[in-house]
Amino acid sequence: MSRDATGESGAIDARSTPAVGSPDTQPVRQSLPRAAPNRRYGADPGRDRARAGASRRRYAGAIAEIALALGYRRWRLVGHSLGGFLALDLAARTPEATASVVLVSPTGPAVVEAVRRPVRGGIRLPWFAGMLLAMRILDAFGSIGIVRGLRRVGMLRLLSSPLFADRGVIDASVIGAFADELRPASFVHAARAVAGYDLRRFERITCPVRSVRGQRDAFSSESDSAWFARTIPAFREQRVPDAGHFAAIESPGVVLQAILASALAA
């Protein structure tokens, strides 16, 4: 979370999927100019172990409470993957306070369908269905040792290849961060929370919403874009040809431009 010159408006970064903590935002953050004052507070629902009964409503409410307590009255939201879903939920719950939303490879109805109806939805998004199954297995049997072993023998880069358009150009540090911040329990919990979400709530969003999605995003369906456009009046999407699910890693300049354009327009 960063504060602008007025002190009453700022940007909230609801980043990443609950499976992977932060590597997706590193290229963009390194490109951002330093501002003063600039205080940043993490708002990542996947950082902690899942708690029974927690929901997206509680996450969004907690973020809003923190922002208000810090003196913010309006905010611009940026979210990646399931973090984008969280940003949309917050925008729907606080339309008067949300100036804009930028989505990076956002979770859409196709993922929700894959969680609710694993067979039918899994056919449409086989890579997501496979990852959800893998996360459930890791959660059940313990993930740290398995992930470290896969990383040691070089298999983690291969197994994570569906997340990227071209895994060959992905720096080893990204794969390392993926291994270090993998949180299967949080991923499974977030999928469960998304499955019970009423997507009609997004019809309440009144602010501009910009989406940057990789053309080769294995976690989205062609129908997602049309659904967002029908549901959110001020929705605009930009497709990135050479990017997969982590557009901020593979095309950081495009993502940065979308964030800056959204901030200037708001």
Domain boundaries, the chain: 2-265
Q: Which positions ≥6 away from 1 have C-beta within 8 Å? A: 10, 11, 12, 13, 39, 40, 41, 43, 66, 67, 70, 72, 75
CATH number corresponding to 2-265 = 3.40.50.1820
The pTM of the full predicted model, rounded to 2 decimals, is 0.78
Q: Per-residue pLDDT for the chain (266 aa), expressed as one digit of tens each?
A: 655 545 566 667 665 444 444 444 444 344 433 433 333 334 444 443 344 334 556 778 888 899 999 999 999 999 999 899 999 999 999 999 999 999 999 999 999 999 999 998 889 999 999 989 988 988 888 766 777 777 777 677 777 888 899 888 888 888 888 878 878 888 898 898 889 899 999 999 999 999 999 999 999 998 999 999 999 999 999 999 999 999 999 999 999 999 999 988 86
Using an 8 Å Cβ cutoff, are 228 and 108 in contact? yes
Using an 8 Å Cβ cutoff, are 240 and 247 in contact? yes
